[in-house]
Amino acid sequence: MEMRKSKIAYIFLLIAIVVFLYFFLVVREGEPLLFDSTISSYLTHFFTESSYPFFKLFNVLGSTIGTGIISLFVIGLLWVIKRDYAGMALLALAISLGNLLNMWLKEIVGRPRPEVEHLVNVKSFSFPSGHAMMGMILYMLIAYFIMNNVRSNVTKWFVVIMAGMMILFMGISRIVLQVHYPSDVAAGLALGFIWTFIWITLYEIVKGKLKRR
């Protein structure tokens, strides 16, 4: 599956761009969002304290250390199994530069965290969510690599569902743990998709040129 040849991918790209730009512009105005209060209220009431340990696991997986360890493991697999040096570079650059982009945007927007008790420690600004953005980048890339190396449609759908669940729970965890507004998460997911789309497109261009040599 080539990302740049998929019409569905371009539709999602357009949606992601609209979502990110909308929340970026609205959040910079500093006004409270009904979107945030409605979703936060629903999720914090739906998920009780018994679910906190589960969501705290995603806090660890989505941390800089957690993302780094998983990324290094995948890079190792790409080297051992495929000798895919372009893929290794893709993952390393997408993750590292994506993290820098996220930190830069946090400083530009300067949105404070929700004014409630945080259930995990946080230090940076709130918008966009780093866990949501990096989770989208990491698990979307993992799914992309796996789907390009399996033939079974059942396996491909399984990979898509599992990656989607990881990304979804990563985003939900930030709201349940009360460290992000839903708009932070939505913008993080959208930006993560845009960022990953760009890097996969570059990867496919490079791979195409290497094959023609």
The whole-angstrom separation of Cα 145 and Cα 140 is 9
- In the residue annotation, 180 being an active-site residue is answered as yes
Residues 6+ positions from 103 with CB-CB distance below 8 Å: 124, 130
Calpha distance 161→171 (Å, rounded): 15
Active-site choice (71, 140, 180, 185) = 180
Q: Which residue is catalytic, options 88, 131, 191, 203?
A: 131
Q: CA-to-CA distance for 203 and 8, rounded, in angstroms?
A: 19
- 45 carries an active-site annotation: no
Q: Which amino acid is at 74?
A: V
Helix axes 182-211, 7-29, angle to 10 degrees: 140
- Catalytically active residues, by annotation: 131, 180
